[in-house]
Amino acid sequence: EIREQQARLPFDLQHGPLLRVTLLQLDEEEHQLLVTLHHIIADGWSLNVLIDEFSRLYASAVQG
C-alpha cells in the first residue's frame, strides 16, 4: 500500500525534501491527500497549522 511505502521511505536530511505530498485517487469522486514529513521540520503546533492551511486551500478550490 502506498501509505505504508511512503512511511517507510527514508528522508535525505542533507538534500531533502523533508516533506512529501501525494494525492491518492480512491475512486472517481474520492481522493486522499497523503502528507509525509520528517519530524525534524514539524511539531504538534505546526502540524495543526499545516492541516488548517490544507483545509483552507481545499475549501477555496472547491468553492471556486
What DSSP string describes 24-57?
A: EE-SSS-EEEEEEE-GGG--HHHHHHHHHHHHHH
Considering its fold, how many domains does the chain have in total?
A: 1
Q: What is the span of the domain harbouring residue 40? A: 2-63
* Distance of alpha carbon 41 from alpha carbon 35, whole angstroms: 13
Q: How many CB atoms within 10 Å of residue 20?
A: 13
Give the pLDDT of residue 64. 86
Give the pLDDT of residue 26. 96
Per residue in 4-63, pLDDT (tens digit) is: 999 999 999 999 999 999 999 999 999 999 999 999 999 999 999 999 999 999 999 999
Give the pLDDT of residue 7. 94
